Amino acid sequence: MIKIHFKLPILIESDKKLIAVFSANGLDSAIAKAEFNLKDTYFSIDSKGEGWGYYSKLEYFSPLITKKRWYKKEIIELHNKFVKNKNDKFIGRSLSSKTLPKVIHEIVAFSANR
């Protein structure tokens, strides 16, 4: 089992989709089902908007130096990058009145249902 030091839920970039993980128990199975072959490091974003790097060959998460802080719009763009059907894209409503953790929770819930 992977040891975690970030705040769940978390979004994890993979080769084909953005993975939404709600619990530590679901982390191993979600990673096992995804493909990680195209890059050495994948973006991950915890519930506080902090960037982490997922090193798939080592099965290790590390604080990401190059992109430590993610913003609402960037997280939505990352999610929508993996969506082919226009109707499945996440459209943030009233973003200015929502906290970053709230937006991340909405995207995680939205991603989990797709």
What is the helix (H) or strand (E) element at residue 13, kind and residue range? strand 10-13
Structural domain total, the chain: 1
* Average of per-residue pLDDT across 32-37: 95
90 to 37, 39, 63: CA distances (angstroms): 26, 25, 26
Sheet containing 18-21: give its strands across: 18-21, 10-13, 41-46, 51-55, 60-63
* Inside any domain, residue 5: no
> Is 96 inside any structural domain?
yes
Distances (CA, A) of 24 to 28, 37, 39: 8, 23, 24
Give the pLDDT confidence of 94-107 residue by residue, as tens digits: 888 899 999 988 88
Evaluate whether residue 2 is within a structural domain.
no
Q: Which domain holds residue 98?
A: 10-112
Per-residue pLDDT tens for 52-61?
A: 999 999 988 8
